[in-house]
């Protein structure tokens, strides 16, 4: 990860990790976005990729996450459902950052384990509820395109941008304003 002066969670090794429950098209869509973001942020960074083989074995998830930490990873993106909870725990125990998935996983721990919550850098979320609501609404209106593959974007609200509770303080006020402007433009479709 890019070094953050004074942050004990990061190192100078430029290694990040990805731990997934399985090797399939949906999971690899998450991986592709992570790879593209990594390459954009630092083309010299190295990414470690591991597949647990299931979505329920938290002990195996923790083991794979710890293996990546031992290879220099200081941020690990877990896309592994229940097995990913082990990855999150391993990141907390090792003093590195984790990226959650599907929901704001910071909120999962903020009331019961603040140390765990603080290890979760951000979460990649999807709002299945908004997607289902949109489909039902369009069915009722007679506009749902049955039998077709449909691409979506941030404008529909199916992929909300997590509010970055931890990382917000890293941005200078001017950068924060730029980020909020981009966030608004992305979510309203102004950039598409």
Domain boundaries, the chain: 1-125
Could you tell me the pTM of the whole model? 0.77
Dihedral angle sign, alpha carbons of residues 18, 19, 22, 27: negative
Q: In the chain, pLDDT over 90 holds for what percent of residues?
A: 49
Q: Report the pLDDT averaged over residues 103-129.
A: 87
Give the separation between CA 192 and CA 188, rounded to whole angstroms: 9
CA dihedral 74, 57, 33, 43 (to 10 degrees): 30
Sheet holding 120-125, edge to edge: 46-51, 15-20, 75-79, 97-102, 120-125
Q: In the chain, pLDDT over 70 holds for what percent of residues?
A: 76
Q: Is the pLDDT of residue 166 over 90?
A: no
Query: What confidence tens digit (pLDDT) does each residue in 23-41 have?
Result: 999 899 889 989 988 888 8
Query: What confidence tens digit (pLDDT) does each residue in 49-103 have?
Result: 999 999 999 999 999 999 999 999 999 999 999 999 999 999 999 999 999 998 8
The whole-number pLDDT of residue 160 equals 59
DSSP E strands in 6-88: the ranges are 15-20, 46-51, 75-79
Q: Are the C-beta atoms of residues 87 and 60 closer than 8 Å to each other? A: no
The whole-number pLDDT of residue 192 equals 46
Q: Is the pLDDT of residue 169 over 80?
A: no
Give the separation between CA 162 and CA 32, rounded to whole angstroms: 19
Q: Is the pLDDT of residue 115 over 80?
A: yes
Give the separation between CA 56 and CA 51, rounded to whole angstroms: 12
* CATH number of the 1-125 domain: 3.40.50.2300
Comparing 179 with 73, which gets the higher pLDDT?
Answer: 73
Give the separation between CA 69 and CA 1, rounded to whole angstroms: 12
């Amino acid at each position: 990860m890019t070094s953050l002066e004074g942050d004990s969670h990061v190192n100078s090794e430029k290694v990040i990790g990805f731990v997934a429950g399985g090797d399939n098209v949906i999971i690899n869509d998450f991986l592709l976005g992570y790879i593209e973001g990594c390459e954009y942020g630092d083309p010299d960074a190295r990414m470690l990729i591991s597949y647990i083989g299931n979505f329920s074995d938290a002990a195996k998830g923790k083991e794979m996450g710890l293996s990546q930490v031992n290879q220099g990873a200081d941020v690990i993106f877990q896309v592994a459902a229940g097995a990913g909870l082990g990855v999150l725990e391993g990141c907390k125990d090792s003093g590195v950052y984790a990226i959650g998935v599907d929901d704001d996983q910071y909120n999962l721990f903020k009331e019961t384990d603040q140390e765990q919550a603080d290890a979760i850098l951000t979460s990649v979320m999807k709002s299945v509820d908004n997607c289902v609501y949109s489909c039902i609404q369009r069915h009722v209106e007679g506009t749902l395109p049955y039998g077709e593959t449909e691409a979506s974007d941030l404008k529909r609200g199916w992929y909300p941008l997590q509010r970055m509770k931890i990382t917000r303080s890293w941005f200078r006020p001017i950068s924060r304003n730029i980020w909020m402007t981009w966030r608004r433009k992305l979510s309203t479709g102004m950039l598409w």
